[in-house]
């Protein structure tokens, strides 16, 4: 794996770090390939309970590497850029574990698209999100528009995307895209790791099932959503974690999940 992407797992918590600070963590071909490989590795790791995605230095991810894109104007190069990251982020959304986007600085273009594929988002209050694709004469290419419309609603997503807006993490927190804020001088990765530790205390199978329900709820009819919910509810009902939660409640003690 390229050193532009660092991926490690310790005690159930994985950290995927984009490591091109000299390019504000813009993803060139090697970095995009390594990013996709890291997601595949994460998907295959049965010890992974929470995944954190962050950047090195003063930026989260600045999207594609513009200098490289200038050298590769062919439609074939554009297709490779789009498909690889579309597929990687689609796989990211289907990981069974929670995924936290830890925004340490500017997230621009494709960086916002990566955040849209995370389940939870935490950011330094002075970080900013840049919806810049329109200013590059492009649309999103990594699946971001569809996800942002589902996350934010059509009206707000339209305003951000069509106007190429730059907003602070604090503003994004006000309308729910960013879930938690860290003070400007705070350590966002440390805060994300604390959040991950909180998630480790929750039953893994229930988290995985709820992720599936949440993912499909935005895309299917209510009758189908109810049917899917009932299926997962019954799969978990009476199982070890459910019994442990009930016993812990009755015995007035903290639960210890498998």
HSE-CB of 124 using CA atoms within 13 angstroms: 21
Could you report the per-residue pLDDT of 48-63, keeping only the tens digit for each? Answer: 999 999 999 999 999 8
Of 185, 200, 215, which residue constitutes the final position of a domain?
A: 200
What span, in angstroms and rounded, lies between the C-alpha atoms of 100 and 177?
A: 12
- 141 and 187 in a single domain? The answer is yes
Any idea what the CATH number is for the domain that residue 96 is in? 3.90.226.10
pLDDT tens over the chain, length 258 residues: 569 999 999 999 999 999 999 999 999 999 999 999 999 999 999 999 999 999 999 999 998 887 887 888 888 888 888 899 999 999 999 999 999 999 999 999 999 999 999 999 999 999 999 999 999 999 999 999 999 999 999 999 999 999 999 999 999 999 999 999 999 999 999 999 999 999 999 999 999 999 999 999 988 999 999 999 999 999 999 999 999 999 999 999 999 998
- The answer to whether residues 52 and 196 touch, using CB atoms and an 8 Å cutoff, is yes
Q: Is the dihedral of CA 90, 95, 98, 103 positive or negative?
A: negative
- The answer to whether residues 181 and 125 touch, using CB atoms and an 8 Å cutoff, is yes
- 64 and 139 in a single domain? The answer is yes
- Tell me whether residue 69 is in a domain: yes
- Tell me whether residue 255 is in a domain: no
- In the chain, the number of structural domains is 2
- Tell me whether residue 257 is in a domain: no
Structure token digits, residue 241: 């974690």
Query: Which domain, by its residues, includes 119?
Result: 5-200
pTM, two decimals, is: 0.95
Burial of 62 by CB count in 10 Å (0-12 exposed, 13-18 middle, 19+ buried)? buried
Order the strands of the 99-103 sheet from edge to edge. Answer: 5-10, 13-18, 50-55, 99-103, 120-124, 180-182
- Tell me whether residue 186 is in a domain: yes
């Amino acid at each position: 794996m390229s050193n532009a992407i660092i991926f490690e797992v310790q005690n159930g918590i994985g950290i995927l770090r984009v490591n091109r600070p000299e390019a504000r963590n813009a993803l060139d071909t090697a970095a995009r390939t390594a990013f996709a490989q890291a997601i595949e590795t994460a998907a295959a790791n049965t010890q992974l309970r929470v995944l954190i995605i962050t950047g090195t230095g003063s930026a989260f991810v600045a999207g594609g590497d513009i200098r490289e894109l200038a050298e590769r104007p062919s439609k074939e190069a554009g297709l490779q850029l789009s498909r690889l990251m579309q597929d990687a982020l689609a796989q990211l959304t289907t990981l069974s574990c929670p995924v936290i986007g830890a925004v340490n600085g500017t997230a621009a273009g494709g960086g916002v698209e990566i955040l849209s594929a995370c389940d939870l988002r935490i950011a330094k209050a002075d970080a900013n999100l840049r919806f810049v694709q329109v200013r590059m004469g492009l649309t999103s290419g990594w699946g971001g528009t569809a996800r942002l419309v589902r996350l934010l609603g059509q009206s707000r997503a339209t305003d951000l995307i069509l106007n190429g807006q730059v907003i602070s993490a604090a503003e994004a927190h006000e309308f729910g895209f960013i879930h938690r804020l860290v003070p400007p001088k705070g350590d966002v990765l440390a805060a994300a790791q604390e959040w991950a530790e909180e998630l480790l205390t929750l039953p893994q199978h229930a988290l995985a099932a709820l992720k599936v329900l949440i993912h499909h709820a935005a895309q299917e009819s209510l009758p189908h959503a109810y049917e899917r919910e009932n299926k997962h509810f019954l799969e978990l009902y009476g199982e070890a974690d459910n019994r442990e939660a009930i016993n812990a409640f009755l015995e007035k003690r903290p639960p210890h999940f498998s």
